[in-house]
Amino acid sequence: MGTGPIAVTLLDRYRAVRSLTEALVYGLSDADATVQSMEDTSPTKWHLAHVTWFWETFILRDNVPGYDPFNNQYAFLFNSYYEAEGPRHARPKRGLITRPSLEWVIRYRHFVDEHIEAAFESLPPEALVLFELGLNHEQQHQELLLTDIKHLFAQNPLKPELWPGDSDRYTSSETPMEWVRGREGVVQIGHDGQGFAFDCEGPRHDVVLTPHALASRPVTNAEWIEFIADGGYQKPEYWLSDGWAWVQQESIIAPLYWEEVRPGRWWSFQLNGMHPLDAHAPVTHISLYEADAYACWAGCRLPTEAEWESAAQDMAPDNPPNGGGLLSSDGMVRPYDAPYDTAALKQMFGSVWEWTGSAYRPYPGFRAAPGAVGEYNGKFMSGQFVLRGGSCATPRGHMRSTYRNFFYPHQRWQFTGLRLARDC
């Protein structure tokens, strides 16, 4: 099974994915990699070790006779939420794991890499199915690495840079917002079974779409400033009840990482430090509550995930320059416009995760897989909302129209934005 072209491609992809993960954190100190800035985030060191534990557990331990783990205690430290794998270190206390050091976590990674390389050609077919899941799992953590490091560095009064350099070499241009009519009637959404998808993306099924239109691009920073100037954060009539309580309790006055350096003049923190706000770039780091309030203020609503997916089905996520980002090769991880995007709906992929008004719930006919890997998505189908499209921090090759990301409505440390919708 390990000698065919598909298997070779899997191993090549494994090498590329694993290398990129380490490249993203090159230059971090042990302290940088150890600290946890809030309960929703995880230390860099934990991310690096957790994805390695995933490979070690579900590929090596379960499929390689006689495999001897690097350290038997790591299963307790670096299991995330798999109840079937036994007890684990509490998530809010991951920042207390001062040992193993970053150096030893990297050694752990290389130890597992060597054993994967040695065992690959003898892996059974069912292990190669999990291998594909492992690649996509690590790509998810590549994005989480970046967003968690950004949140950590933003807490430092010095506002340190992960990547010093030239983010100001590009400024977004103003693009008029237009309305694009969506499909109506019975349409199909969900993954069709061709190629990889997470289990929650299927089964494919029929939905009914009523007459609607989507905005041709995401809402921009300049437009969000108008919302702030009009008192959007102080007017309860725009907010869901839970959202208004959250705004009051947390004293929210702007998107995360924004700072008003003088009246009407906003800067924002990026992975390369503080910079003036890019007025015409998509607004990001907003909660579902904020997105919904803005839509209400604008006389619109959030799209449903079915409306979004139906509009995106014929688009190729990785081909047009839909927002760019470091992981696409241009050296920046922040949302900006797509001046060469000729699609009617612009920046659908790779700029900001776009909030939808749809609850994260199972599709008709969904069944979680048996065993520990069945805990991957299904157990979280409660109290969260769906986001679509991928962000500037999402690895290229990891996006598709059926991808269902999901977060709680108050969370906003990810690159989350919005696209307006309206009824016709």
What angle, rounded to 10 degrees, do the helices at 5-24 and 44-55 form?
A: 160
Alpha helices for 241-369 (secondary structure H): 241-250, 288-297, 305-312
Contact assessment for residue 29 and residue 160, using Cβ atoms and an 8 Å cutoff: no
- Residues whose CB is less than 8 angstroms from the CB of residue 332 and which lie 6 or more positions away in sequence, other chains included: 167, 170, 324, 325, 326, 392
Q: Assess whether the previous peptide bond of 100 is cis (omega < 30° from 0).
A: yes
Name the fold adopted by 5-154. Four Helix Bundle (Hemerythrin (Met), subunit A) (1.20.120)
Which position has the token pair 């839909």? 322
Cα gap 96→129, rounded to integer Å: 34
pLDDT at residue 319, as a whole number:
41
pLDDT at residue 171, as a whole number:
72
Rounded to the nearest angstrom, the gap between the alpha carbon of residue 161 and the centroid of all alpha carbons in its chain is 21
For the segment 356-378, the average pLDDT, to the nearest whole number, is 89
User: DSSP string of 315-330?
Assistant: --TTSS-SS--GGGTS
Structure tokens at 18: 């694993």
Cα gap 201→329, rounded to integer Å: 28
pLDDT at residue 316, as a whole number:
72
Q: What is the pLDDT of residues 12-28, one digit of tens each?
A: 999 999 999 999 999 99
Greatest mean pLDDT among 207-221, 308-322, 331-345 lies in: 207-221
Percent of the chain that is helix, strand, coil (3-state, to 5): 40, 15, 45
Q: Which residue type sits at 188?
A: Q
Per-residue pLDDT at 325 exceeds 50: no
pLDDT at residue 5, as a whole number:
53
**C-alpha gyration radius of the chain:** 22
User: DSSP string of 188-201?
Assistant: EES--SSS---GGG
The domain covering 167-423 belongs, at the CATH homologous superfamily level, to paralog of FGE (formylglycine-generating enzyme) (3.90.1580.10)
Q: What is the pLDDT of residues 74-109, one digit of tens each?
A: 999 999 999 989 999 999 999 999 999 999 999 999
Per-residue pLDDT at 329 exceeds 50: no
Q: Where in the chain is the domain with CATH 1.20.120?
A: 5-154
pTM beyond 0.75, yes or no:
yes
Structure tokens at 277: 């706000």
Burial tier of 367 (Cβ tally within 10 Å: 0-12, 13-18, 19+) = exposed
pLDDT at residue 327, as a whole number:
52
Q: Strand 421-423 vs strand 258-262: parallel, antiparallel, or unpaired?
A: unpaired
Q: Where in the chain is the domain with CATH 3.90.1580.10?
A: 167-423
pLDDT at residue 6, as a whole number:
57
For the segment 43-50, the average pLDDT, to the nearest whole number, is 98
In degrees and rounded to multiples of 5, residue 351 shows phi and psi of -115, -70
